[in-house]
């Protein structure tokens, strides 16, 4: 096998320790607070309608089984009455948004069903849910509708329903192709179900099929990872997303570590995880794919877009629906209550289900977009000058020259490009751009 060109860590320890590594937003969640929650309703009731593109994130918190590495808000013990009650609550929540003067008359440009496992719902539940959503806020102008699936929950009939209610981007949580690795990591599906689901989905003609993989699952090896990439290349999906395994505090893996008194997670260290992603990217590039972010490779970048990511990372509005959902409206971040009973009860009592929020200022919005766009591996000086009237070149001269000196940054015209090595550890480099008040903040979700 080709020798890896990945350099050692600059900022993190090499072993995988417990905690969050992935930077998904800015300012960090620990700065979001209860005091800013009323800002969201003030915005919604203000007479001015929002003018930036709008999207919806819909959270379905149900799974067949909780994976040992998972840190999302999920329930594995809910019955059909609980599910019905939850879906009703989310529709009430959507109605409140749709009636507000800030949202009224706007149409979503993107819709994202995430979880948890959206494909856990039955074909009938999905049909009813999406019909109701569309009657409250029509999606006929959506450029993309993404739907996350756990492969073992998909039948051909369910996929047909998913296609028919408008999904354009089908995302399959494959994670690995080895049945033993799937089992020891607590996944509910096996490889046979992946192949079946993929074949059905291809047959139905989805525009964009994405496969999620995780580099560094429990018991991962060089040989097995290589085999996973063989399988991906054979299937030839439109998009491949590769996450590096992190072990947050609310995972089953961390629980076992605590019981055993271990500080280091029993998964590969960061250089090994990056080496695996690098090998995957090199093989995907050789097969004609383009690397479009730290986490994604795309077969045909001209036709295969990821509207949700690109809109969100450039400051669009997004309504977050459902328990523990994250939203962003008019420069205000917010997150809903994280317990399903409390969430449903607050909707029933006609109270806001928002738990914490943060009204950001212009500088924080600038930094938020900058750190999110670094994850694309390229950043435009002109974009930030035009939008925020701030020159990255001047503002971050010291960081840029340090990165350029060590070969991690190149400049072409008004664009900055990251080396592959820096791109694969971008989440550990982003703290450099945080405002002093936000540095060293805990990054727990």
Ligand X SMILES: C[S@@+](CC[C@H](N)C(=O)[O-])C[C@H]1O[C@@H](n2cnc3c(N)ncnc32)[C@H](O)[C@@H]1O
Q: How far is the CB of 189 from ligand SF4 (least distance, A)?
A: 8
214 binds, among ligand SF4, ligand X, none (CB under 5 to 8 A by kind): ligand X
Nearer to ligand X, 70 or 409 (CB): 70
Our finding on whether 63 is near ligand SF4 (CB under 6 A) is: yes
Residue 60 Cβ vs ligand X, minimum distance, rounded to whole Å: 9
Q: Which does 66 bind (CB under 5 to 8 A by kind): ligand SF4, ligand X, none?
A: ligand SF4
Q: How far is the CB of 305 from ligand SF4 (least distance, A)?
A: 24
Cβ nearer to ligand SF4, comparing 265 with 379: 265
Residues that bind ligand X (CB under 6 A): 63, 69-72, 114-117, 148, 150, 173, 175, 212, 214, 243, 245-246
Given ligand X, ligand SF4, none, residue 245, with its beta carbon under 5 to 8 Å by kind, binds: ligand X
Q: Which does 16 bind (CB under 5 to 8 A by kind): ligand X, ligand SF4, none?
A: none
Which of 110-118, 276-284, 309-317, 390-398 is the region at the interface with ligand SF4 (rule: CB under 6 A)? 110-118
The answer to whether 294 and 427 are in contact (CB under 8 A) is: yes
Q: Which is nearer to ligand X, 117 or 373 (CB)?
A: 117
Binding residues for ligand SF4 restricted to 166-225, rule: CB under 6 A: 173
Q: How far is the CB of 434 from ligand X (least distance, A)?
A: 22
Which lies closer to ligand X via its Cβ, residue 308 or residue 384? 308
- Residue 103 or 423: the one with the smaller Cβ distance to ligand X is 423
Task: State which residue, 67 or 284, has the beta carbon closest to ligand SF4.
Answer: 67
Task: Look at residues 254, 120, 231, 245 and name the one whose alpha carbon lies nearest to residue 177.
Answer: 231
The residue with its CB nearest to ligand SF4 is: 70
Residue nearest to ligand X (CB): 173
Select 119 or 360, whichever has its Cβ closest to ligand X.
119
6, 37, 40, 70: residue in contact with ligand SF4 (rule CB under 6 A): 70
* Smallest distance, ligand X to C-beta of residue 120, A: 8
CB of 132 to ligand SF4, least distance (A): 23
Distances (CA, A) of 436 to 11, 41, 404, 439: 17, 30, 23, 5
Determine if 144 is a binding residue for ligand SF4 (CB under 6 A): no
Q: How far is the CB of 189 from ligand X (least distance, A)?
A: 7
Query: How open is the CA angle 112-113-115, to the nearest 5 degrees?
Result: 125
**Smallest distance, ligand X to C-beta of residue 325, A:** 12
Q: How far is the CB of 244 from ligand SF4 (least distance, A)?
A: 15
Q: Does 116 help bind ligand SF4 (rule: CB under 6 A)?
A: yes
- SS3 per-residue string spanning the chain: CCCCCCCCCCCCCCCCEEECCCCCCCCCHHHCECCCHHHHHHHHHCCCCCCCCEEEEEEECECCCCCCCCCCCCECCCCHHHHHHHHHHHHHHHHHHHHCCCCCCCCCCEEEEEECCHHHCCHHHHHHHHHHHHHHCCCCCCCEEEEEECHHHCCHHHHHHHHHCCCCEEEEEEECCCHHHHHHCCCCCCHHHHHHHHHHHHHHCCCEEEEEEEECCCCCCHHHHHHHHHHHHHHCCCEEEEEECCECCCCHHHHHHHHHCCCECCCCCHHHHHHHHHHHHHHHHHCCCEECCCCEEECCCCCCCCHHHHHHCCCCEEEEECCCCEEEECCEEEEECCCHHHHHHHHHCCCCCEEEEEECCHHHHHHHHHHHHHCCCEEEHHHHHHHHCCCHHHHCHHHHHHHHHCCCEEEECCEEEECHHHHCCHHHHHHHHCCHHHCCCCCCC
- From CA 244, how far away is CA 18, in angstroms rounded? 13
User: CB under 6 A: which stretch of 109-117, 121-129, 194-202, 234-242 binds ligand SF4?
Assistant: 109-117
Residue ranges binding ligand SF4 (CB under 6 A): 63, 66-67, 70, 72, 74, 115-117, 150, 173
């Amino acid at each position: 096998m080709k020798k890896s060109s990945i350099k050692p860590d600059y900022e993190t320890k090499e072993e995988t320790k417990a905690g969050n590594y992935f930077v998904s937003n800015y300012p960090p969640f620990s700065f979001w607070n209860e005091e800013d929650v009323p800002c969201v309703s003030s915005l919604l009731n203000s007479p001015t309608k929002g003018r930036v593109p709008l999207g919806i994130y819909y959270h379905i918190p149900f799974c067949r089984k909780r994976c040992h590495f998972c840190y999302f808000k999920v329930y594995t013990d809910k019955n059909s009455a609980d599910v019905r009650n939850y879906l009703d609550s989310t529709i009430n929540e959507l109605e409140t948004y749709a009636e507000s003067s800030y949202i009224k008359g706007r149409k979503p440009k993107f819709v994202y069903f995430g979880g948890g496992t959206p494909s856990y719902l039955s074909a009938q539940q999905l049909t009813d849910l999406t019909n109701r959503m569309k009657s409250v806020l029509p999606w006929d102008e959506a450029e993309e509708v993404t739907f996350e699936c756990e492969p073992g929950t998909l039948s051909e009939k369910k996929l047909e329903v998913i296609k028919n209610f408008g999904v354009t981007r089908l995302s399959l949580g494959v994670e690995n192709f080895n049945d033993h690795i799937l089992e020891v990591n607590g996944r509910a599906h096996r490889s046979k179900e992946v192949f079946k689901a993929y074949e059905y989905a291809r047959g139905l003609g989805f525009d964009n099929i994405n496969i999620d993989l995780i580099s560094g699952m429990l018991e991962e090896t060089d040989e097995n990872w290589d085999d996973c990439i063989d399988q991906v290349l054979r299937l030839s999906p439109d998009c491949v997303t590769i996450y590096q395994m992190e072990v947050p505090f609310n995972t089953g893996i961390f629980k076992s570590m605590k019981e055993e008194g271990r500080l280091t997670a029993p998964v590969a260290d960061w250089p090994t995880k990056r080496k695996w992603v690098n090998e995957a990217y090199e093989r995907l590039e050789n097969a004609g794919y383009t690397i479009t972010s730290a986490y994604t490779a795309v077969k045909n970048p001209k036709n295969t877009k990821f509207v949700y990511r690109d809109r969100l990372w450039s400051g669009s509005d997004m309504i977050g629906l459902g328990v523990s959902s994250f939203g962003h409206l008019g420069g205000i971040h917010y997150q809903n209550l994280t317990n399903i009973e409390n969430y449903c009860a607050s909707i029933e009592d006609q109270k806001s289900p928002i738990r914490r929020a943060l009204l950001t200022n212009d500088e924080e919005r600038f930094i938020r977009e900058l750190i999110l766009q670094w994850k694309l591996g390229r950043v435009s000086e002109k974009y930030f000058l035009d939008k925020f009237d701030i020159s990255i070149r001047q503002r971050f001269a010291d960081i840029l020259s340090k990165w350029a000196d060590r070969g991690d940054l190149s400049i072409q015209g008004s664009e900055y490009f990251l080396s592959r090595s820096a791109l694969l550890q971008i989440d550990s480099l982003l703290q450099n751009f945080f405002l002093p008040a936000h540095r060293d903040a805990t990054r727990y979700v």
